[in-house]
Homo-oligomer: A and B are copies of this chain.
């Protein structure tokens, strides 16, 4: 069951400049940074609010670290902007199976590593009215590394 907007993923050309925009313009703060080699990005998570399911909602700013990453290809085609949206769930495996049964293409056979030790999968945007959609289960609080 999807219980929150976990984050909005925003693709950018220059992570430092984009972080500077969001922190200086709105007063948001960087909660976490990491490099995700598998996804081919480095990223900054800005926590915006906490949510009624015990989680939180973030902006996830993404800069590609190699030209063959999906975010690099997306940026080359679209320019900077909203790359994907992510819904939080306590059980990404169950929700991925549920949406797959309904005919939505799930891009990974098994969830992969996301931000802050989370487990994530993506749904095909053509099956989601044009929206690249991520499902995410956060790491247990004690194991979150930020």
Using a CB–CB cutoff of 8 Å, the interface residues on chain A facing chain B are: 1-5, 8, 10, 12, 17-18, 21, 24-28, 48-53, 57, 59, 79-82, 85, 87, 99, 102, 104, 125, 128-131
Scoring A24, A49, A81, A87 by chain B CB atoms within 10 A of each residue's CB, the highest score goes to A49
CB <8 Å contact, A82 and B85? yes
Given that A25-B104, A51-B49, A99-B26 are known contacts, is A5 also in contact with B5, CB under 8 Å in the complex?
yes
A81 to B8, CA, bound (A): 13
Given that A12-B129, A81-B131, A130-B81 are known contacts, is A27 also in contact with B4, CB under 8 Å in the complex?
no
**Which chain B residues border A99 with CB–CB below 8 Å?**
25-26
| Copies of chain A in the complex | 2
A-B contact pairs, 19 of them (CB 8 A): A2-B27, A4-B57, A5-B48, A8-B8, A10-B131, A17-B129, A21-B128, A26-B99, A49-B57, A50-B52, A51-B51, A51-B52, A51-B57, A80-B129, A80-B131, A81-B82, A81-B125, A81-B130, A82-B82
